[in-house]
Amino acid sequence: MSRLRIAEIFGPTIQGEGALIGQPTVFVRAGGCDYRCAWCDSLHAVDSAFRDSWTPMTTDDIWAEVVRLSDGQPLTVSISGGNPAIQDFGPLIERGRADGYGFALETQGSMARDWFGRLDMLVLSPKPPSSGERPDWKAFADAIAAGQEAGQVVLKIVIFDDRDYAWAREVAEMHPQLPLFLQPGNPEVDPDRPVAAQDVADRLLWLVEKITADRWFAPRVLPQLHVILWGNRRGV
């Protein structure tokens, strides 16, 4: 049986962002990514320098840990990274769905996988200009197509500045069929430094005031609850 590179499995805790915000969730974080965003807050799951800390696990290994953490209660399992689309999580999704668990996956949409269609929710999060990355829109369209049979496909964009905001409006116009979630970015990525709640609130207010002034009512603007509650600590 093939093995997947896993940076961490943790929970249950609440989903801190996006369409499932507040929902009890067990997280499976994959190791490895094809992007290197300037403000990445999960380098331990991205940078190959941390490869030695990633655990090779079979589907059975991963599922046993998810069941243990959730006490066998069929919660939502969120697969994240890094970019989890690099690896084949199809067998894990099949295994979990057979036990009544739901599955959400977040990816930047840089590659399409046939098993996207077996997800309950596919979160596509293209990275804005502040990341230093450039999305491949053909690959992104392929990812949307691959998720057509998923329960829902949504668009989530992190906003750090005015340029990101203008870019997000362009992306939303490209994909009006996708529910859109915006969240202010967190510039503090050091897990050992606290995040001031007022700073989070100020960035959220800035974004709310911008969409209100522009009369742009398509997106839902949400905070990153996990940042408010735990800062950048890992495993929560």
Q: Is residue 64 part of a domain?
A: yes
Contact assessment for residue 148 and residue 124, using Cβ atoms and an 8 Å cutoff: no
Determine, yes or no, domain membership for 236. no
Does the N-terminal peptide bond of residue 12 adopt cis geometry, omega within 30 degrees of 0? yes
Q: Report pLDDT digits (tens) over 180-204.
A: 999 998 876 666 666 777 888 899 9
Q: Is residue 10 part of a domain?
A: yes
**Torsion angle (degrees, nearest 10) of CA 39, 41, 43, 44:** 170
Specify the number of domains making up the chain: 1
The domain in which residue 69 lies consists of: 4-230
Would you say residue 34 lies in a domain?
A: yes
pTM, entire model: 0.93
Please check whether residue 235 lies inside any domain of the structure. no
By the 8 A CB rule, do 148 and 178 touch? no
Separation between Cα atoms, residue 116 and residue 85, nearest integer Å: 9
Could you tell me if residue 78 is inside a domain? yes
Q: Residue 141: which CATH number?
A: 3.20.20.70
Phi, psi at 172, each rounded to 5°: -60, -40
Q: Is residue 62 part of a domain?
A: yes
67, 77 contact by CB (below 8 A): no
- Residue-level pLDDT, tens digit, the chain, 236 residues: 689 999 999 999 999 888 999 999 999 999 999 999 999 988 888 888 888 899 999 999 999 999 999 999 999 999 999 999 999 999 999 999 999 999 999 999 999 999 999 999 999 999 999 999 999 999 999 999 999 999 999 999 999 999 999 999 999 999 999 999 999 988 766 666 667 778 888 999 999 999 999 999 999 999 887 777 776 666 65
Q: Is 171 within the bounds of a domain?
A: yes
